[in-house]
Chain A
Amino acid sequence: GQGVEQPDNLMSVEGTFARVNCTYSTSGFNGLSWYQQREGHAPVFLSYVVLDGLKDSGHFSTFLSRSNGYSYLLLTELQIKDSASYLCAVRWPNYNVLYFGSGTKLTVEP
């Protein structure tokens, strides 16, 4: 639902950075959440953004452009353990319902 799109895979190198992109349909938007999910585990909340601009949270930062229906999750100083899937989810105005993209599998190489 809500046309949430993410690339399937992303590869990067330890010590550098990775940017995980997400696009969505702008109708009914009430914020966007990012989750990390490791294989065989539940999604873990990382960040919620509702205002335009960059939200710096240290290792994880998030950017939002509401007019363009675009967000990204930026991971800096990558570590091997950052290898996981990153899920983007648009929050619907009613009852905090989340509509997820298919997730981006990030692989961090030595």
Chain B
Amino acid sequence: EAAVTQSPRSKVAVTGGKVTLSCHQTNNHDYMYWYRQDTGHGLRLIHYSYVADSTEKGDIPDGYKASRPSQENFSLILELASLSQTAVYFCASSGRTGTNTEVFFGKGTRLTVV
């Protein structure tokens, strides 16, 4: 079964601090994504990547950086965390073609910035 693993599952960060959220997939998927979900809302795309060592901006990239050092790993970095970045963050992966194009989500990371 497709597997997307996020760490940590929850984190409390201090305003102005640096936060790194990690994601690892064992699906052999080319594409990976970071989404943010605020309470009672849908998912919004932050960054995505279609190949290792390359990342693309999504709809809401401001305040976030992404890193894809290998096909399996995709990190989201908050250099200076702010209160407004309190949310649940989901990593996802998807294959390139055919039936492998379903997007699979990790279990999420609940980030609280205080």
A binding-site residues for B, Cβ under 8 Å: 1, 4, 6, 33, 41-45, 48, 87, 89, 95-103
B binding-site residues for A, Cβ under 8 Å: 31, 33, 35, 40-45, 48, 50, 56, 58-59, 90, 94-95, 101-108
- Asked whether, in the complex, the Cβ of A101 is within 8 Å of the Cβ of B101, the reply is no
A41 — which chain B residues lie within 8 A by C-beta?
107-108
- Asked whether, in the complex, the Cβ of B43 is within 8 Å of the Cβ of A100, the reply is yes
5 closest Cβ contacts across the A-B interface?
A: A100-B42, A102-B42, A42-B105, A96-B94, A100-B43
Partner of A96, one of B44, B56, B103: B103
A-B contact pairs, 29 of them (CB 8 A): A1-B45, A6-B42, A33-B102, A41-B107, A42-B90, A42-B105, A42-B107, A43-B90, A45-B102, A45-B104, A48-B101, A87-B42, A87-B43, A89-B43, A95-B31, A95-B94, A96-B31, A96-B95, A96-B103, A97-B48, A97-B58, A98-B33, A98-B43, A98-B45, A98-B103, A100-B35, A100-B42, A101-B42, A103-B42
- Asked whether, in the complex, the Cβ of A33 is within 8 Å of the Cβ of B48, the reply is no
- Asked whether, in the complex, the Cβ of B90 is within 8 Å of the Cβ of A97, the reply is no
- Asked whether, in the complex, the Cβ of B107 is within 8 Å of the Cβ of A95, the reply is no
Q: How far is the CB of B70 from chain A (nearest CB, A)?
A: 18
- Asked whether, in the complex, the Cβ of A42 is within 8 Å of the Cβ of B108, the reply is yes
- Asked whether, in the complex, the Cβ of B103 is within 8 Å of the Cβ of A33, the reply is yes
| Complex-state Cα separation, A42 to B40, whole angstroms | 13
Q: How far is the CB of A40 from chain B (nearest CB, A)?
A: 8
Beyond known contacts A33-B102, A41-B107, A42-B105: 20 more, CB 8 A cutoff: A1-B59, A4-B42, A41-B108, A45-B102, A48-B101, A95-B48, A96-B31, A96-B94, A96-B95, A96-B103, A97-B45, A97-B48, A97-B58, A98-B43, A98-B103, A100-B42, A100-B43, A101-B42, A102-B40, A103-B42
| Complex-state Cα separation, A44 to B44, whole angstroms | 16
- Asked whether, in the complex, the Cβ of B44 is within 8 Å of the Cβ of A100, the reply is yes
| Complex-state Cα separation, A6 to B43, whole angstroms | 13
A48 — which chain B residues lie within 8 A by C-beta?
101-102
